[in-house]
Amino acid sequence: MKFGIGEAVRRKEDQRLLVGRGRYTDDINLDGQAHAVFLRSPYAHAEIVSIDASMAAEAPGVIAVLTAAEAKADGIGDLPSLLEIKALDGIPMAHPKRPVLCRDRVRFVGDLVAVVVAESAAQAQDAVEMIMVDYEDLPAAVDTATVLDADAPVVWPEAGSNLCVQWENQAAAAVEPIFASAHRVIEVELTNKRLIANPMEPRAAIAEHDADTGVSTLYCPSQGANRVQQMLVKHAFQTTPDKIRVISPDTGGGFGVRSKGNPELVLLIWAARRLGRPVKWLADRAETNYVDNHGRDNVTRAKMALDAESRVQALWVDNIAAAGAYLSDYGLFPTIHVAHRTTGTCYRIPALYHSIRVAFSNTTPIDAYRGAARPEAAFVMESLMEKAGRETGLGPVEIRRRNLLSGADMPFLSAPGLTIDSGDPLGALETAMERAQWAGFEERRRLSEARGLRRGIGIGCFLEVSGGAPKELGRIQVAKDGRVQAFVGTFDYGQGHGTVFGQLISQTLGVDFDAIDFHDGSDTAVVDFGAGSSASRSAHMGGMALLRACQAVIEKGRKIAAHSLQQDPAAITFDGGEFRAPTGAHMSLAEVAKAADDPDHLPDGLETGLDERVIYDRGAKSHTYPNGCHIAEVEVDPETGKVVIANYTAVDDNGLLLNPMIVHGQSMGGIVQGLGQALIEHTVYDETGQLLTASFFDYGMPRAEDVPPMNLVDRPTLCTTNELGVKGAGESGTCGAPPAIVNAVVDALKDDGLTQLEMPLTPNRLWQAIRDAKAASAA
């Protein structure tokens, strides 16, 4: 079936986007629109002594200058964390809410102080420069490793310290004796550096308000308009969903950071309401990098108890996770829940102690960034395994063979308490070694050595917990002419959902791929429920919701067909778009839809129309578990510290592939971002909290020349907890690539005496590490 499930159907989205017919937020201009520019804090931490906006208010073109005082007068609410986490002893977490404009204190560089609305963006910018703010600079808490120290400056004095919450899995007593009697204990200390997501589209939004209806409409990029609407409705404006409509036109990438109800969005709606004019904002790259939530930023100590056969008996992980200056809406979800559920990844871990201390600092807030705690967990485990392989003498392969889960273990109750339904991580390792030609590596190493280069090979195994929010909307309408309208609450910000879901619907309903119109969570007035696209949930949750909606359409259609054909519904079959009776009489889906429109053709009790809306609820614990094994082979120039990835093999179990081409695109993108974390990307603050990497001049991103040829190998095992058999597929590369690449570089430099390296492995850092190791061995 040309457009069926599993076919590499070309993306129907691409033509329009590639020829420049995309419609992004900044392409939208509304009649009478004004422009907003934000005044942001130049300090990481300071008291606001006074704000004098009088000159700015008089500047040419200025319509309004708004500060915290006006926000308070208009009752604009502060933005909370949408999760409450309890510490081990039951005390609630420190939960400071984020004011949309700072009142008396700024807490990171980029924090919002005022908004100027003017006739043009340039006039607004001119006026922003005229606002006089008297700050009293305070020492800043910056480095995650030290912000919990007793002498660190405190971001939220009412919290008493920078500790937001210490979460534990309450297993210390069970795990400690295992370590005490272990044959061997392997320990690592490592960091996952802070990263900036950098979607191609910068931050942008435009808001308008209809005073007659009281409805505000906000256009902005997102990962699902309903997610954005939630924060605005419930917390900022304390109103009902019908009063705030959110529309996301084409969105140029999300990576986790675009799913947020950010304070800027609140300010634009508020300004549009106050001023009675549409208000537009476009950030440049630097502003985007200051204020988009950042990702990762963890400092981890981990240890692993091994028995005499080098099998893991217990795992102990102590993590400090940065929160930044404010708690983002769901930022604690990856920081706590995803981090814990993923810990131990694809290994047999009989016992686990896990502590996570969430720490405030005078930095940009932290939230999900592609992978969202899964890469961190994989990096911890793969670093431990690598070291265990070295210290036991078993090497990187044998230590993993002894500890990896295999297909025979499934279903497996993991140490964090989740039932992994399917997968074969051990088989993935064996396949990856074969496809990466592991056996021939020593010969390749010799050839590199002859050219003055060090060559190394490294493994990155992983297992993710995917699926995100457990409910999703699916709705299928069939028109009289057979045309299908499909609605789902996930959101396409580049993934090609219309193509993939079109395949699913085409096959399920037997309709032409081109006869399906796709509507996703881009407009809260069209799709009133949905959790958007994050946590690799779209194929799974959106796919299942649409499948269920299709099934509901078929069920209703069966009753209508049975009624028309004067048969028992149970006797009616549905195949290839035809309802068929045992007599051979049949009706097409379109004919049934036509009948459904006429009450005279309906059996008693059925409403008119062939339009079925379902909420798919997978159950909170029924995640999917994508997993795999990646192998990187690198060459290192020991004179310069430059790493080149020579070969990259990715063996992935993403369950059933609805469209393998699109899944491979996801794999590649994730691998590139993973290699960015491993080799290049690093968000750097100085000790006063100034962001040194706000532009591409200083923040390194992977470029085409850095990307190796990739050998992508599908090794699916079907997910057993959803009928489609699909698993998440968006984040595997970010999990597999960092450990595979770092372990490969460590392998390349093992004769130089290096055993552990801190990401990113930039040339200077690698050169320094080689030099330090040389000096240490000479001493």
> Binding to other proteins (CB under 8 A): which residues in 622-651?
639-642
Residue 352 tokens read as 């686990």
Contact status: 763 vs other proteins (CB under 8 A) = yes
Tell me the three state secondary structure of residue 543.
Answer: helix
Distance (Å, rounded) from C-alpha 458 to C-alpha 530?
A: 40
User: What is the total count of residues that contact other proteins (CB under 8 A)?
Assistant: 25
**Nearest-approach distance from CB 282 to other proteins, in angstroms:** 13
Query: In 563-686, where do the E strands start and end?
Result: 573-575, 578-580, 586-588, 611-617, 627-637, 642-653
Closest residue by Cα to residue 734 from 93, 195, 137: 195
Residue 366's alpha-carbon distances to 93, 157, 227, 627, in angstroms, are 17, 20, 17, 25
Closer to other proteins by Cβ: residue 88 or 696: 696
Closer to other proteins by Cβ: residue 629 or 754: 754
**Nearest-approach distance from CB 125 to other proteins, in angstroms:** 8
**Nearest-approach distance from CB 526 to other proteins, in angstroms:** 37
> Binding to other proteins (CB under 8 A): which residues in 262-321?
284
Tell me the three state secondary structure of residue 695.
Answer: coil
Closer to other proteins by Cβ: residue 608 or 640: 640
**Nearest-approach distance from CB 194 to other proteins, in angstroms:** 13
Q: What residues contact 465, with CB distance under 8 A and at least 6 apart?
A: 338, 341, 342, 374, 418, 623, 624, 625
Contact status: 692 vs other proteins (CB under 8 A) = yes
Q: For 602-635, b where at least 16 C-beta lie within 10 A, e where not — what string?
A: beeeeeeebbbebebebeeebbbbbbbbbbbbbb
CB 691 within 8 A of CB 771: no
**Nearest-approach distance from CB 760 to other proteins, in angstroms:** 8
Closer to other proteins by Cβ: residue 49 or 145: 145
Residue 180 tokens read as 């005490």
Contact status: 69 vs other proteins (CB under 8 A) = no
Neighbours of 451 (CB within 10 A): 9
Distance (Å, rounded) from C-alpha 740 to C-alpha 429?
A: 12
Q: Which stretch binds other proteins (CB under 8 A): 320-328, 452-460, 493-501, 763-771?
A: 763-771
Contact status: 573 vs other proteins (CB under 8 A) = no
- Pairing mode of beta strands 611-617, 586-588: unpaired
Distance (Å, rounded) from C-alpha 321 to C-alpha 622?
A: 26
> Binding to other proteins (CB under 8 A): which residues in 696-735?
696-701, 703
**Nearest-approach distance from CB 686 to other proteins, in angstroms:** 9
Closer to other proteins by Cβ: residue 671 or 675: 675
| Residue span 464-483 as binding mask against other proteins, x where in contact by CB under 8 A, dash where not | --------------------
Closest residue by Cα to residue 295 from 263, 339, 255: 255
| Residue span 93-132 as binding mask against other proteins, x where in contact by CB under 8 A, dash where not | -----------------------------x--x-------
Q: Which stretch binds other proteins (CB under 8 A): 319-327, 599-607, 661-669, 757-765?
A: 757-765
**Nearest-approach distance from CB 763 to other proteins, in angstroms:** 7
**Nearest-approach distance from CB 84 to other proteins, in angstroms:** 38
Q: Which stretch binds other proteins (CB under 8 A): 39-47, 489-497, 654-662, 674-682?
A: 674-682
CA end-to-end span of the chain, whole Å? 69
User: Which string of DSSP letters, residue by residue, matches 394-429?
Assistant: SHHHHHHHHHB--GGG-SEE-TTS-EE----HHHHH
Contact status: 693 vs other proteins (CB under 8 A) = yes
Q: Judge residue 381's burial from the number of C-beta atoms within 10 Å of its C-beta, 0-12 exposed, 13-18 middle, 19 or more buried.
A: buried
CB 165 within 8 A of CB 94: yes
Contact pick of 435, 548, 682, 727 for other proteins (by CB under 8 A): 682
26-31: long-range contacts (C-beta < 8 A, 24 or more apart)?
26/204, 26/282, 27/249, 28/206, 28/219, 28/249, 28/280, 29/206, 29/280, 30/206, 30/208, 30/278, 30/280, 31/278
CB 39 within 8 A of CB 96: no
Contact status: 608 vs other proteins (CB under 8 A) = no
Closer to other proteins by Cβ: residue 239 or 690: 690
Neighbours of 452 (CB within 10 A): 9
**Nearest-approach distance from CB 759 to other proteins, in angstroms:** 13
Closer to other proteins by Cβ: residue 19 or 704: 704
Alpha helices in 194-251 (DSSP H): 225-231
Closer to other proteins by Cβ: residue 374 or 454: 454
**Nearest-approach distance from CB 680 to other proteins, in angstroms:** 5
Q: Which stretch binds other proteins (CB under 8 A): 44-52, 468-476, 660-668, 691-699?
A: 691-699
Contact status: 243 vs other proteins (CB under 8 A) = no
**Nearest-approach distance from CB 30 to other proteins, in angstroms:** 24
Q: Supply the DSSP symbol for 60.
A: T
> Binding to other proteins (CB under 8 A): which residues in 347-376?
none
**Nearest-approach distance from CB 762 to other proteins, in angstroms:** 6
Contact pick of 684, 750, 755, 775 for other proteins (by CB under 8 A): 684
Distance (Å, rounded) from C-alpha 186 to C-alpha 382?
A: 12
Contact pick of 50, 213, 566, 764 for other proteins (by CB under 8 A): 764
Q: Which stretch binds other proteins (CB under 8 A): 215-223, 329-337, 607-615, 761-769?
A: 761-769
Respond yes or no on whether the N-terminal peptide bond of residue 139 is cis (omega within 30° of 0). no
CB 648 within 8 A of CB 711: yes
Distance (Å, rounded) from C-alpha 418 to C-alpha 441?
A: 37
Distance (Å, rounded) from C-alpha 556 to C-alpha 559?
A: 5
Closer to other proteins by Cβ: residue 41 or 123: 123
Closer to other proteins by Cβ: residue 680 or 757: 680
Closer to other proteins by Cβ: residue 49 or 692: 692
- Pairing mode of beta strands 352-360, 312-324: parallel
CA 293 from centroid of its chain's CA atoms: 11
**Nearest-approach distance from CB 701 to other proteins, in angstroms:** 8
**Nearest-approach distance from CB 690 to other proteins, in angstroms:** 12
**Nearest-approach distance from CB 21 to other proteins, in angstroms:** 22
**Nearest-approach distance from CB 752 to other proteins, in angstroms:** 15
Contact pick of 680, 710, 754, 759 for other proteins (by CB under 8 A): 680
Contact pick of 24, 179, 529, 767 for other proteins (by CB under 8 A): 767
Q: Which residues bind other proteins (CB under 8 A)?
A: 122, 125, 284, 639-642, 679-680, 682, 684, 692-693, 696-701, 703, 762-764, 767-768
